[in-house]
């Protein structure tokens, strides 16, 4: 596994690198203090699996960097690790395709559990966005309900699994060999079944419902 940590504080980068190493022995970690060098690393090493990205970066806001990453490198999982925990920033990051949003104030236990959840293919949402009074996630919990329980077809479940990975419609079209109009219609139906109106709300709904989503194999290119 190869990861990139983008943060302008060396101590934060060191701490995140240690957590990753404890989760994935032998992980190959790259570091960057600014978006410019970070994008140079990504262009030079397109086999990166994970990017941990701060929002307060010199030269470019982290959300702008996230948008650029998702547009040009959709196969790389991106997780925001930020000291900014306002609800709007979390929602915007998830809408742009982040696989998770981890507050820097999180304990090492929560940080480890959140990253483990992402590495397992799920999306980490701060507990305060899931429900009032809910304790921080201590370990990734598998879903216990089937998408069929809320009326989703197998194809819709596949699309939802890709939505949970932050994939845009064009990537979903490519991965499932579907027309864009079909994907748009299916996404609308999925949101209706979940009782929500946006992708961010869908992430929260899946978390609340405990839906078990199977991973969708990547197409050979």
What tens digit of pLDDT does each residue of 149-166 get?
889 999 999 998 888 777
Calculate what percentage of the chain has a pLDDT beyond 90.
33
What pLDDT score does 6 carry?
96
**Strand, coil or helix: 155:** helix
What tens digit of pLDDT does each residue of 42-54 get?
999 988 989 999 9
Measured CA to CA, the distance from residue 74 to residue 149 in angstroms comes to: 30
Band the pLDDT of 189: cuts 50, 70, 90.
very high
Band the pLDDT of 146: cuts 50, 70, 90.
confident
Measured CA to CA, the distance from residue 44 to residue 52 in angstroms comes to: 17
Helix axes 62-72, 35-44, angle to 10 degrees: 20
What pLDDT score does 4 carry?
96
Please state, rounded to an integer, the average pLDDT across all residues of the chain.
83
What the chain holds in terms of domains, given with CATH numbers, is: 2-130 (3.40.50.2300), 147-209 (1.10.10.10)
Measured CA to CA, the distance from residue 145 to residue 150 in angstroms comes to: 9
Q: Regarding predicted confidence, which is higher, 194 or 213?
A: 194
Lookup result for tokens 């397992």 = 120
**Strand, coil or helix: 28:** strand
As a whole number of angstroms, the longest Cα–Cα distance in the chain is 48
Residue 132 has pLDDT above 60, yes or no: no
Q: Pick from 175, 170, 207, 169: which is nearest to 188 by CA?
A: 169
Other Cβ atoms within 10 Å of 60 Cβ, number: 14
What pLDDT score does 7 carry?
93
How big is the CA angle at 123 (ends 117 and 127), to the nearest 5 degrees? 85
Lookup result for tokens 């864009």 = 180
Band the pLDDT of 133: cuts 50, 70, 90.
very low
């Amino acid at each position: 596994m190869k990861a990139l940590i983008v943060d302008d504080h060396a101590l934060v980068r060191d701490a995140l690198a240690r957590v990753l190493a404890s989760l994935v022995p032998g992980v190959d970690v790259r570091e960057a203090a600014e978006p410019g060098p970070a994008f140079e690393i990504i262009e030079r090493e397109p086999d990166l699996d994970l990017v941990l990205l701060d929002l307060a970066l010199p030269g470019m806001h982290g959300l702008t960097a996230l948008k650029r990453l998702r547009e040009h490198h959709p196969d790389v999982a991106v997780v925001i690790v930020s000291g900014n925990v306002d609800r709007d920033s979390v929602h915007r990051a998830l809408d742009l395709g982040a696989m998770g949003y981890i507050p820097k104030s999180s304990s090492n236990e929560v940080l480890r559990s959140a990253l483990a959840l992402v590495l397992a293919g799920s999306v980490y949402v701060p507990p305060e966005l899931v429900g009032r009074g809910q304790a921080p996630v201590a370990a990734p919990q598998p879903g216990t309900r089937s998408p069929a329980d809320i009326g989703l077809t197998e194809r819709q479940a596949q699309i939802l699994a890709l939505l949970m990975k932050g994939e845009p419609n064009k990537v979903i079209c490519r991965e499932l060999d579907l027309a864009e109009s079909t994907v748009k219609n299916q996404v609308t139906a999925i949101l209706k079944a979940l009782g929500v109106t946006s992708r961010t709300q869908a992430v929260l709904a899946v978390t609340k419902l405990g839906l078990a989503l199977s991973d969708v194999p990547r197409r050979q290119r």
